Structure 1
């Protein structure tokens, strides 16, 4: 039985999680940790269960593709940073804000605690870089450039504090290299949609590792598809957007 390590880009996961897990009961840190763990464990089984295979073989169904493949979990590695916990002032109102008491900070800290309780889960924590300052949200920028908004109409809600993660990408790359060269695993599954991990993927594949990408049903760059051994998402599929009815022109 082959051994599988699952590496999760935390920032990417939480962003996609909000878009895919839309039920009210999924909004808690406990539910998010449980859903992540379930999503990862689902990668350990590929194909069809043996009982279903036997039934299809007896019925001679043409869609038969063979037995399922079982993998042994080596470990789940989760990469993220501690939430921002400093105090700042809003750019317009100048009111003080304590980010340690924000919903995001409270959720993430509880979420990390829940992950620590899961079996075979290891947290790889980076750190936040120095804060660059407040920037106007991209959506609001477009409205300003289009003449729909003016600078004088901006409020605190139109700004976000620019903070970047540090060492997270490096930790992922180092772990891929370590798992590969030390022959700890036969397969690596990366939950991400970022092309920054191309060098790590190339390294693993050159050493004979089966490298699978889980973009959580998100479209990925073409150059990323070229350097992986497969793509598979085990989380719920996004709900299809309603189609816009076409207008018919009557002559």
Structure 2
């Protein structure tokens, strides 16, 4: 029996979730976890027993920011560990741990204790619809980035491939960082499918995958 592993870039999935489903259930960790599992089964709907063909779902993410920072404009202090976003992330990770055939892979959140201008605010400044004097706290976000996530995805793809645990890998992601791992898997005979959740991809990415398939509703 052919077996399929589904690997999900958590940050990408959550960003696309809001674009695909709007705000519907976006703050409900249980609903989001259920949707993720449903997407996995949707990829396998062509077979008689999709749950048996599913080897495992891997979800890659980072723990939420758990420290206090001083806002750049007002000077007020904000404890990010007490925000709704942090509570949602913790609850989502807990829900995922409870899901059958789910493996949660957590990286690290590297932050410098500084703030950076949001991309949307930067664009408004360029367009002239926002002036520098009008900048407020909400136009900034903590300067942080995920680490170890891409490495964990690559290691898991290699392990699944070399140990011959699966015949197919479906990756839910939107960037090109996966290409070296995808090439390795395909070289070893693994069917490699990319699910960008209807986000456009660069034309040259098609040569590094065996198929492109999005199973979530297409956003308008």
Map 1:163-178 to 2 at 5 A.
Answer: 163-178=144-159
Conserved 8 A contact 1:176-1:200: yes
- Residue 96 (structure 1) aligned with residue 77 (structure 2): yes
The answer (yes or no) to whether the contact 2:113–2:143 under 8 Å persists in 1 is yes
Give, in whole Å, the separation in 1 of the partners of 2:59 and 2:50. Answer: 24
Structure 2 Cα separation of the partners of residues 2 and 148 of structure 1: 54
2:20/2:218 contact within 8 Å kept: yes
Shift of 1:111: 0.7
Retained in 2: the 8 A contact 1:45–1:70? no
- Between Structure 1 and Structure 2, whose CA radius of gyration is higher? 1
Structure 2: tracts of 5 or more residues without a match: none
Q: SS of the counterpart of 1:219?
A: coil
Within-5 A mapping of 1:68-107: 72-107=53-88
Alpha-carbon separation, structure 2, partners of 1:76 and 1:70: 11
Q: Are the counterparts in 2 of residues 44 and 71 from structure 1 also a CA contact under 8 Å?
A: no
CA contact (8 A) 1:16 1:216 kept: yes
Structure 1 length-normalised TM: 0.83
Q: State the partner residue of 1:15.
A: 15
Cα contact 1:45–1:71 (8 A) shared by 2? no
Distance 1:228 1:211 in 2: 6
Residues 1:45 and 2:45 aligned together = yes
Unaligned runs of 5+ in 1: 50-67, 241-251
Check whether the contact 1:6–1:188 (CA below 8 A) recurs between aligned residues. Answer: yes
Give per-residue Cα distances to partners, 1:53-99, cap 9 Å, x unaligned: xxxxxxxxxxxxxxx99971111110000010110000000100000
CA 1:11/1:179 → structure 2, altered by over 3 Å: closer, same or farther?
Answer: same
Q: Which of 190, 198, 201 is 2:179 aligned to?
A: 198
Give the TM-score taking structure 2 as reference length.
0.94
d(CA) in 2 for partners of 1:133, 1:85: 14
- Cα deviation for residue 144 of structure 1 reads 2.4
Is residue 30 from structure 1 mapped to residue 11 from structure 2 by the alignment? no
Show the counterpart of 1:65: none
